[in-house]
Amino acid sequence: MIKKEVQFTVDVFKSIDDLMPADLSLLSAARETTQAAYAPYSNFLVGAVAQLSNGAIVKGTNQENASYPVGLCAERVLLSAISSQFPNMAIQTMAISYHHLKGKSDHPISPCGMCRQSLVEYEQRVKQSFRIILSGMTGEVYIIEKATDLLPFPFSSSDLASGR
Ligand code: THU
């Protein structure tokens, strides 16, 4: 038996003011984009913005529904928009923020498990990882080097490959 250790590094910044200009601008856009969320049930507005390798900026927000499970997270709305408008285009950096209308928005949140699965598949599909910036409307900012860091041992297309 051997023990395998899985670890990853998070860069922690005190506030948005400590970021380099490109990251500051992307996180500002994510914070602003929370306003476009449709989240009347949770009051939890999430904004995700990506800078693609061709320089394009694409936005996504969470979109809820009276039939709760129909709702979509901002991250998967964003990936669907990217995939539809710029098929197979690599992402350089994605910034994710949120505005909790009935609570605090002062610390980073990280993508739910379902979104992590989608983020990882996007990296695998275009064969390029992307950085993820996480923060609320105020407070600390986390930067993660690649989506795969958030989901060790992912299920992926290679697991579906036929044995023949
Ligand atoms: N949500 C996201 O959009 N992204 C996340 O990473 C976590 C949760 C949304 C789903 C739902 O509309 C609301 O936030 C509360 O869970």
Cβ atoms 39, 28 nearer than 8 A: no
> How many whole angstroms from 73 Cα to the centroid of ligand 1?
5
For 141, list phi and psi in degrees, rounded to 5: -125, 130
Chain centre to alpha carbon of residue 18: 20
Of the residues 5, 32, 75, 121, only one is catalytic, namely 75
State the residue range of the domain holding 110: 10-155
Cβ atoms 47, 98 nearer than 8 A: yes
Residue nearest to atom 10 of ligand 1 (CA): 73
How far apart CA 100 and CA 26 sit, in angstroms, is 20
How far apart CA 120 and CA 131 sit, in angstroms, is 12
Give a yes or no: residue 3 inside a domain: no
How far apart CA 25 and CA 41 sit, in angstroms, is 29
Give a yes or no: residue 160 inside a domain: no
List the pLDDT tens digit at each of the 164 positions of the chain.
Answer: 999 999 999 999 999 999 999 999 999 999 999 999 999 999 999 999 999 999 999 999 999 999 999 999 999 999 999 999 999 999 999 999 999 999 999 999 999 999 999 999 999 999 999 999 999 999 999 999 999 999 999 999 999 988 76
Give a yes or no: residue 129 inside a domain: yes
CATH classification of the domain holding 84: 3.40.140.10
Residue nearest to atom 8 of ligand 1 (CA): 73
The tally of domains found in the chain comes to 1
* pLDDT at residue 162, rounded to an integer: 81
Confirm whether 121 is a catalytic residue.
Answer: no
